[in-house]
């Protein structure tokens, strides 16, 4: 969850948030810095500013989706279909896009040990690398995920 101290400025209006009951906090829920919801990532806002922002409802919905799909009961591995119970074994893909070829991979989860057996790994990596190369995805989390999925061999270039 975003760090919040009374008096912090709202990211949207730049005015201080002076009451804890008027704050909307977002956890880090967007990996792609090109995503329009990136501005909400790990930040604090006036609730009313989020309510009025054109992407506010979508940001709240996406964060809710990420929270629900991150629950231990909602963590079946896409390869073996067993629940992922160990944090060290948990490798989530997160959200990529609402449409297009990467959208079918939104929120897939894997045991790290199962990833090499994923039949779609090469296809996915090719699509993911192409999106990064085109400038459609960027950021430290994207580079780290690409490197992780490539067994430490990919620098996201």
Identify which has the larger pLDDT, 98 or 80.
80
Identify which has the larger pLDDT, 50 or 71.
50
pTM over 0.85: no
In whole numbers, what is the pLDDT of the chain averaged over residues? 90
User: Rounded distance, CA 47 to CA 72, Å?
Assistant: 29
DSSP 41-89: TT-EEEHHHHHHSTTHHHHHHHHHHHHHHHSGGG-B-TTT--B---GGG
- Tens of pLDDT, residue by residue over 1-31, are 667 888 999 999 999 999 888 899 999 889 8
The dihedral of CA 93, 30, 154, 70: what is its sign?
A: negative
User: Rounded distance, CA 156 to CA 128, Å?
Assistant: 9
Q: Is 142 exposed, middle or buried (0-12, 13-18, 19+ CB in 10 A)?
A: buried
- Tens of pLDDT, residue by residue over 66-96, are 888 876 677 899 999 999 988 899 898 888 9
């Amino acid at each position: 969850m975003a760090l919040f101290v009374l008096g912090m400025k709202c990211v949207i209006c730049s005015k201080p948030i002076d009451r804890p009951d008027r704050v909307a906090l977002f956890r880090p829920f967007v990996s792609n810095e090109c995503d329009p919801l990136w501005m909400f990532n790990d930040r604090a806002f006036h609730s009313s500013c989020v309510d009025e922002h054109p992407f506010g409802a979508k940001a709240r919905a996406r964060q809710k989706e990420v929270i629900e799909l991150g629950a231990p009961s909602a963590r079946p591995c896409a390869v073996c279909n067993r629940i992922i119970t160990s944090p060290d074994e948990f490798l989530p893909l997160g959200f990529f896009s609402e449409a297009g070829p990467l959208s079918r991979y939104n929120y897939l989860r894997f045991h790290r040990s199962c990833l090499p057996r994923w039949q779609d790994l090469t296809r996915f990596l090719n699509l993911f690398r192409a999106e990064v190369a085109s400038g459609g995805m960027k950021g430290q989390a994207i580079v780290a995920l690409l490197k992780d999925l490539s067994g430490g061999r990919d620098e996201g270039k």
